[in-house]
């Protein structure tokens, strides 16, 4: 019987400190995430310097807790996977430096992982994951990108945002309306009782044959709408506020659904994977499933806890490279704009 490979994974690309222990890249033995929401809430968004400082504070206890929950010591770890980009470079360097130190001291193989590849691979932690190839949408606070995925390490970028990412647009609109941070979950909840057709916000398009996205114009449309009412945003009647966020969310979701299935059809793909923090959005999940059914395609969306940043998804990719014999040098560096 082949020995199972045990892998420690570390994720610090933005404002969540994550560590996980996986067995053979599919079974989660532990997954621990420390959120920094309370740190950044009063600023209405992530402050990079504060994020990196918090990672320094939390990296040791979070990794320690992940190992303890898994009931393992570092001596039982066969590889260490760590996010090397894209992300906030200060945050990335905390996780990367810690992972490199462990790898050096314990003589454990090191694997650098692309954050976007990790999101695309989170679905393999669920039962009945897709087979290759598939169309993958990564939609989060920092990214909105479409990929053709032919295997681990085999990605073709089909389209991406030209300005604001979808999650970034959610956060900016929430801040404009005085709703707080993070904006995505707040808008999603408020929109439950709003009218998504109350305000005809635009569905931005960057060309009939393009798979790129643009959400800056939609955000600006919300700004102009808000300016037509006297008083501060916080003084809106409750019904109007719910209609604004519901109409805004519907516009974002319409664009994401339309572009995703347009790209899948163009590529002749019948399997679609949605990943990233915005993939936890209630309306997006619902609409993607409905459209997949209409198009006779199969849709795969990780459970919400695996959509947001976590180390378990990093471990999936790390395991795939580890079993291929791929190793990274201790000179491995962090890259804020790392690409495939």
> In the prediction, which pLDDT does 230 show?
76
Please state the domain extents for the chain.
6-121+307-323, 131-301
Q: What is the mean pLDDT of the chain?
A: 94
Give the angle 307-329-94 at the CA atoms, nearest 5°. Answer: 50
pLDDT score at 2: 67
DSSP state of 213: B
Contact 257, 287 (CB under 8 A): yes
Structure tokens at 42: 């009063």
100 pLDDT exceeds 80?
A: yes
CATH code of the domain occupying 6-121+307-323: 3.30.420.40
Report pLDDT digits (tens) over 105-128.
999 999 999 999 999 999 999 999
pTM of the model: 0.94
Read off the pLDDT of residues 228-264 as tens digits, 9 standing for 90 and up: 887 776 677 889 999 999 999 999 999 999 999 999 9
Q: How far apart are the first and last CA of the chain?
A: 35
**Phi, psi of 246, rounded to the nearest 5 degrees:** -65, -40
Cβ-based neighbours of 187, under 8 Å, separated by 6 or more: 170, 173, 174, 179, 245, 248, 249
CB 9, CB 2: distance < 8 Å = no
pLDDT-derived band at 339 (thresholds 50, 70, 90) equals: confident
pLDDT value at position 291?
98
CATH superfamily for 131-301 is: ATPase, nucleotide binding domain (3.30.420.40)
């Amino acid at each position: 019987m082949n020995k199972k490979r045990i892998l420690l994974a570390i994720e610090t690309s933005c404002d969540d400190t994550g560590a996980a222990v996986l067995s053979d890249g599919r079974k989660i033995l532990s997954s621990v995430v420390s959120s920094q929401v309370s740190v950044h809430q009063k600023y209405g968004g992530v402050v990079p310097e504060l994020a990196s400082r918090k990672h320094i504070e939390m990296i040791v206890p979070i990794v320690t807790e992940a190992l303890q929950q898994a009931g393992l010591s570092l001596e039982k770890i066969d590889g260490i996977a760590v996010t090397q980009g894209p992300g906030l470079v200060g945050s990335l360097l905390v996780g990367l430096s810690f992972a490199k130190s462990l790898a050096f001291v314990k003589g454990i193989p090191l694997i650098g992982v692309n954050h976007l590849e990790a999101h695309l691979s989170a679905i393999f932690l669920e039962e009945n994951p897709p087979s290759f190839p598939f169309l993958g949408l990564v939609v989060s606070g920092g990214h909105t990108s479409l990929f053709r995925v032919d295997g681990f390490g085999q990605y073709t970028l089909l389209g991406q945002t030209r300005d604001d990412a979808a999650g970034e647009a959610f956060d900016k609109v929430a801040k404009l309306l005085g709703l707080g941070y993070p904006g995505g979950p707040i808008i999603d909840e408020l929109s439950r009782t709003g009218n998504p057709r109350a305000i005809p916000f635009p569905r931005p398009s960057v060309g009939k044959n393009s798979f790129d996205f643009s959400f800056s114009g939609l955000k600006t449309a919300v700004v102009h709408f808000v300016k037509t009412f006297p008083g501060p945003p916080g003084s809106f009647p409750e019904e109007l506020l719910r209609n604004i966020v519901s109409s805004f969310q519907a516009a974002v979701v319409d664009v994401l659904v339309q572009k995703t299935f347009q790209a899948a059809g163009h590529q002749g793909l019948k399997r679609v994977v949605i990943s990233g923090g915005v993939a936890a959005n209630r309306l997006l999940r619902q609409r993607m499933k409905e459209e997949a059914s209409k198009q006779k395609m199969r849709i795969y969306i990780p459970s919400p806890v695996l959509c947001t940043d976590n180390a378990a998804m990093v471990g999936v990719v790390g395991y795939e490279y580890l079993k291929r014999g791929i190793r990274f040098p201790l000179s491995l560096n962090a890259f804020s704009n790392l690409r495939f």
